[in-house]
Amino acid sequence: MDYPTGIRPSKCGRKLEIRYQVAGVRRSQIVDKKPNKTNIRYAASLRNQLIEGQFEQTKGGGSPNFGTIAQEYLNTAKLTLSSRNSYRDLLNKYWESLYPYPIDLIEYNLIWQMDNNTEWPSPKTRNNAVTALRQVFKLGKKRGLCPTNPAAELDYEKHQKAEIKPYTTLEKEQILSSLEGQALAYFTLAFETGARTGELLALTWDDISGNKMTVNKSTVRRVAKDSTKTAKGRTVLLTKRAQEAIKQLPTIFSGGHLFVVEQFAGGLNTQTVGQPHKCARWLNKQFKVAAKQHGINYRRAYNCRHTYASLGLTAGAKPGFLADQLGHSLEMFFNRYAKYMATEDDLAELEKLENFTSSRGAK
């Protein structure tokens, strides 16, 4: 198949790569389309837009380029580590073509074209990418480097939040029955406390006191943090089952972190044996294997948190208590888990309606 200038298959062979130069800077961009005649024509058209249509005024403009301001934003913004890394990834993947150009010469029509020419994987991803773009221009405007924030004119798309899929009581018990050692203790805690992945990985023996567990730090993207996702510490009450699981951990005698890399982790974990886990990859693999053994429809292990909330509500636990345990505001807790509340009360209310309807019909 013949490819026009600057268009070639990507390394994986399943996408297209655009190569071009603007203002003497070599750039490349991956187009998530299969290499066929129609898509090659599309990529060639996009390449022309990138070269010719984007910046007719690349001469002049005394402001720093967009890439410089983007880096300054990432360096100075008050963001969590995960948010900072997410914004960096989004800027690099979707707005990298803007980097060489003076920020004051970038207009709405340009970013509108880029937005419309991008095959977004989901409305949520697009909205997050637009947010990152807006923040860079916002910094540029505050510093007097660009007259407006052109990205502010890009509308957000509505998207439906993914439905949570907690495990049932039976599924929970089946999975735990097939786990052992650290994996058993880790997921028992996940199911019995609803703690986040990073919070569990960061736990030390100083955080455990009888039936209480202090949650005030986390491990995010392999980096230890002295705070939780919400920047608020909390005390979590442990069930007897959780307490017993903790007591079985061999690290109880050595102190330090509860969950550490073990010899049999093999190639799945390149960290030093005896050091705390920086990610839950190995543990999650054990979880997935256990679910498969029982023919359970696998959902990522984070759903242990949702399972704790949903089973707690079904059992009649107070929402305020569960929200505190999870580190949620009450408003967020209701938004996430309202449908699991008071199942028996709902049936009682339905019975009232049926009795009322029956009595009216008898007259």
**Domain map (residue ranges) of the chain:** 1-53, 59-160, 169-343
- Pinpoint the alpha helices (H) of 194-298: 197-201, 240-247, 281-293
pLDDT score, position 56? 47
Residue 123 and residue 158: Cα distance in Å, rounded?
Answer: 7
Strand, coil or helix: 301: coil
pLDDT score, position 358? 66
User: pTM for the complete prediction?
Assistant: 0.65
pLDDT score, position 69? 93
Per-residue pLDDT tens digits for 166-182: 999 999 999 999 999 99
Name the strand (E) or helix (H) holding 235: strand 234-237
Which regions in the chain score pLDDT beneath 70?
Answer: 21-25, 49-62, 160, 263-271, 342-352, 356-363
Print burial letters for 312-337: b (CB count within 10 Å at least 16), e (below 16).
bbeeeeebeebbbbbbbeeeebeebb
| Contact predicate 17/25, CB 8 Å | no
Residue 140 and residue 346: Cα distance in Å, rounded?
Answer: 53
- Pinpoint the alpha helices (H) of the chain: 37-48, 66-76, 81-94, 108-117, 123-142, 169-177, 181-193, 197-201, 240-247, 281-293, 303-314, 319-326, 330-337, 343-362
Domains 59-160 and 169-343 share a fold: no
Residue 256: name the closest of 203, 211, 301, 209 by CA: 203
pLDDT score, position 148? 92
Architecture category of domain 169-343 in CATH: Orthogonal Bundle (1.10)
pLDDT score, position 34? 86
pLDDT score, position 32? 78
pLDDT score, position 81? 79
* Fold classification of 59-160 (topology level): DNA polymerase; domain 1 (1.10.150)
The sign one gets for the Cα dihedral 348, 354, 358, 360 is: positive
Q: What is the dihedral of CA 219, 222, 224, 228, to 10 degrees?
A: -30
User: Residue 58 corresponds to which amino acid?
Assistant: T
Per-residue pLDDT tens digits for 95-113: 988 888 889 888 898 899 8
pLDDT score, position 359? 65
pLDDT score, position 87? 94
DSSP at 248:
T
